[in-house]
Chain A
Amino acid sequence: MGRDPDHPPAVVCTGLAKTFEDGTEAVRPVDLTVGAGQTIALVGPSGCGKSTLLRMVAGLEAPSAGRVAIAGRPPAETLRRAGLAVAFQDPSLLPWRTVRGNVRLALRLARRPMDDADIDHLLALVGLAGFEETRPAALSGGMRQRAAIARALSTRPGLLLLDEPFGAVDDLTRRQLARDLPRLWEARGTTTLLVTHSVSEAVRLSDRVIVLSPRPARVVAEIAIGLPRPRTEAIGESAQAAALTRQIFAALSDGMASPATAGPAS
């Protein structure tokens, strides 16, 4: 994988905007850069347009204006090479496949070699050891989400797009995932765009936090997270992290106080 000079790729969004056919303006023109191998967190109020933004970066949603460049090329090209992976907000596991079967399908669709030992290692990493042969219906909501994360990681994508990946996971497991997963994508060299509702998680995981306004989303603030890596629990709980968290919360409420000129229609 490392032979590809564009691995991991940088992502550049310029003037990216989305208005749906029904007139809902979800994203105001947004400029956004994710450096190669960086982790960027998107935070913003519920319904502000984070998922829409992520889906445009993934090439799953056509922007109404602006463009996305992944390693300088349109997302469709990265898609075609299976160079990115998305962990959707909804785990969307196929119910007729086991946990391992769901991961295998992703590998097959992405035309990647299949190695069950690899798969099981990933599943163990997200705490699903012993559930490889379980069908999604028999998993809890948080377990399903973790299976979906493992599936996204399995294809070793250069660009990882995570939409609220820990939404239904308990706090303790969240902390553990927030510790283990970055190690993996650091080791592999992965560019990561992460949507999260948890400000402290954004601080814990990312190199930079982008704060979005209520719908239509626009960038209110970009806050660099200069914490050293690896991010241990101690660093996450340090005074510096607490200050950054406060700064992000302040930016969030600024965004709330000065919404875009178009009144929120929701």
Chain B
Amino acid sequence: MTPQGSRFGPWIGGLLLLAGWELADRLLSDAFVLAGPVAVARFLMDEGALMGRALAVTLGNAAVGFVIGNLAALALAGVAVVWPRSERVVTGLALLVFCLPLVATGPILRVLFGPGPGPQITLAALAVYYTTLIPLLVGLRAVPDTWVELVRSTGRGRLAVLVHVRAMAALPALCAGLQIAAPAAFLGAMVGEFTGAERGMGVLTIRAMRALDVPMTWSLATVATAVAVLAYLALGALARRVLRAPPPVILAAPSVRSKQGAAWRDVALVAALALGGWAAVIGLGGLNPFFAKGPGDVVTALVFAPDAPETRATLGAALAETAVFLLPGYAAGLAAGAGLAVLLVLLPGVAGTVLPLAIALRSVPIVTTAPLVVLLLGRGALGTIVLVAVMVFFPTLVACLHGLRQTPGQVLDVFDSFAAGPVTRLIRLRIPAMWPAFFAAARMAVPASVLAVTVVEWLATGSGMGRLMALSASLSDYDMLWSCVVVVSVLAALGYALVGAVERRVLAVYAPEQQT
């Protein structure tokens, strides 16, 4: 089930990466945008104490958020399994919350919590719970009926099924989800620190950017990358001990489909619950109405207020600006990921080397490297588009490579017996087998690319929704800020649903067995 790369493949790949990086530094030494491995190492030696303290703070917050977020995921999955009818509503609400733009929720949480680690921890938890919840649900449900009947035939009920069968059956998926969650928690904590924390890696990142401190920027990105990769590998090793086998490569959450009830009813229920929950928190929380806006306030701001047309125009303009970066980056990332995967499968020796590296790099919190992209490509459109594309690229590459390798050996044998060449096999067999993984990645890439684009706009380019949200936060224009939150999360959830709809159409043709 795991990619069986050669043992040295990842090391060779990693060394090549380092060498290329150092070479680029030497070649571009006049441009003052790039610090190579040597310069980074020197910086880390000199400023080790500072970096160490910041790292400890961020890691602490990330760890707390990781635990909270995953406990929430476990609880939600438990609800959905014990009460199957609720599953689509639970996942719908979870998706909506996952789509909340961190750039806007960060400042809101900052006002709410005041100084301290509250926002960092909350954002870390928000960054992980969805990527754990969905694989967990799938794992809990993917249990043959006969295993359930076996437990029932010994006279025991649903609880015993959950404890003895479902929980164990879901362990591999849970491990894979946690493996993705660990770096995501680190990313969430860093974004939380961007919102005006006192200490941590995020604070240093902002400081380095303001000061145009090239070695520091690169060192921070390097440390963030190393932490992410190490967290990924450490959880992988832990999972191998628990499972006695490597955890599955979870491409992205498989699309959750349940057959019970009409879809529109669940959508309406999700909307009603989201609005009700929101209104209840605002109303019952005793929060200061100056910054705590309820659904009514947002509707007023967008529809009834005297300045509503201007608000809408501002929002519309910002959305359009963001879409110009987002859509090409998203499309380019998907195309590049899928394209490279297909190429690599035609060169099987190379795929073994690239896949482990890509899996590790997938966990890099791309957003934390945003300052690098700005250093390298400037504050223009290209930098933003590239960042979004990179954010989409790695998960897509991993998912597609994995999907391409899923082609059952027996079917390949059948094709061989017809003397089909490698290209025929690729087109007729492997690419169709890749679609489910590709679409799973494409769906999950929607919230990820929204996060990437808004963070870059906020930190670097000063345009679009990211800037609008940051500006509204600093001007205390909370009507606008909450409107942004609503619009962005609803649009992201709709984008996710749209990709899901295309997915169902395509899979109905190419992979009917995926449709249950």
Contact of B147 among A58, A84, A92 (CB under 8 A): A92
Q: What residues of B have a CB within 8 angstroms of the CB of A88 in the complex?
A: 146, 149-150
Q: What residues of A have a CB within 8 angstroms of the CB of B71 in the complex?
A: none
- List the A residue with the shortest CB-CB distance to B160: A109
- List the B residue with the shortest CB-CB distance to A161: B153
Q: Is B144 interfacial (CB 8 A cutoff)?
A: yes
Q: What residues of B have a CB within 8 angstroms of the CB of A94 in the complex?
A: 147, 164-165, 168
Q: Mark B166-177, 1 if CB is under 8 A from A, else 0.
A: 001101000000
B152–A60 contact, CB under 8 A? Answer: yes
Q: Is A126 interfacial (CB 8 A cutoff)?
A: no
Q: How far is the CA of A86 from the CA of B152 in the complex (A)?
A: 10
User: Chain A nearest CB: distance from B384 CB in Å?
Assistant: 46
A109–B156 contact, CB under 8 A? Answer: yes
A84–B164 contact, CB under 8 A? Answer: no
Contact of B164 among A81, A82, A90, A105 (CB under 8 A): A105
Q: How far is the CA of A82 from the CA of B150 in the complex (A)?
A: 12
Q: What residues of A have a CB within 8 angstroms of the CB of B169 in the complex?
A: 96
A92–B152 contact, CB under 8 A? Answer: no
Report how many residues on chain A are interfacial, defined by Cβ distance under 8 Å. Answer: 21
Q: Is B515 interfacial (CB 8 A cutoff)?
A: no
Contact of B152 among A79, A90, A105, A155 (CB under 8 A): A79
Q: How far is the CA of A55 from the CA of B153 in the complex (A)?
A: 9
B-side interface mostly: helix
Q: What residues of B have a CB within 8 angstroms of the CB of A82 in the complex?
A: 154-155
- The B126-171 residues at the A interface (CB cut-off 8 A) are 144, 146-147, 149-156, 160, 164-165, 168-169, 171
- The A15-71 residues at the B interface (CB cut-off 8 A) are 55, 58, 60
- The A93-139 residues at the B interface (CB cut-off 8 A) are 94, 96, 105-106, 109-110
Q: How far is the CA of A88 from the CA of B151 in the complex (A)?
A: 12
Q: What residues of A have a CB within 8 angstroms of the CB of B164 in the complex?
A: 94, 105, 109
A60–B165 contact, CB under 8 A? Answer: no
A90–B165 contact, CB under 8 A? Answer: no
User: Chain B nearest CB: distance from A153 CB in Å?
Assistant: 13
A109–B154 contact, CB under 8 A? Answer: yes
User: Chain A nearest CB: distance from B243 CB in Å?
Assistant: 8
User: Chain A nearest CB: distance from B65 CB in Å?
Assistant: 30
Q: Is A3 interfacial (CB 8 A cutoff)?
A: no
User: Chain A nearest CB: distance from B242 CB in Å?
Assistant: 10
Q: What residues of B have a CB within 8 angstroms of the CB of A83 in the complex?
A: 155
B151–A109 contact, CB under 8 A? Answer: yes
* Residue positions of A touching B, CB distance < 8 A: 55, 58, 60, 79-86, 88, 90, 92, 94, 96, 105-106, 109-110, 155
* Residue positions of B touching A, CB distance < 8 A: 144, 146-147, 149-156, 160, 164-165, 168-169, 171, 243
Contact sample, A vs B, 13 pairs, CB 8 Å cutoff: A58-B153, A79-B155, A80-B155, A82-B155, A86-B153, A88-B146, A88-B149, A90-B146, A92-B147, A92-B149, A94-B147, A96-B243, A110-B155
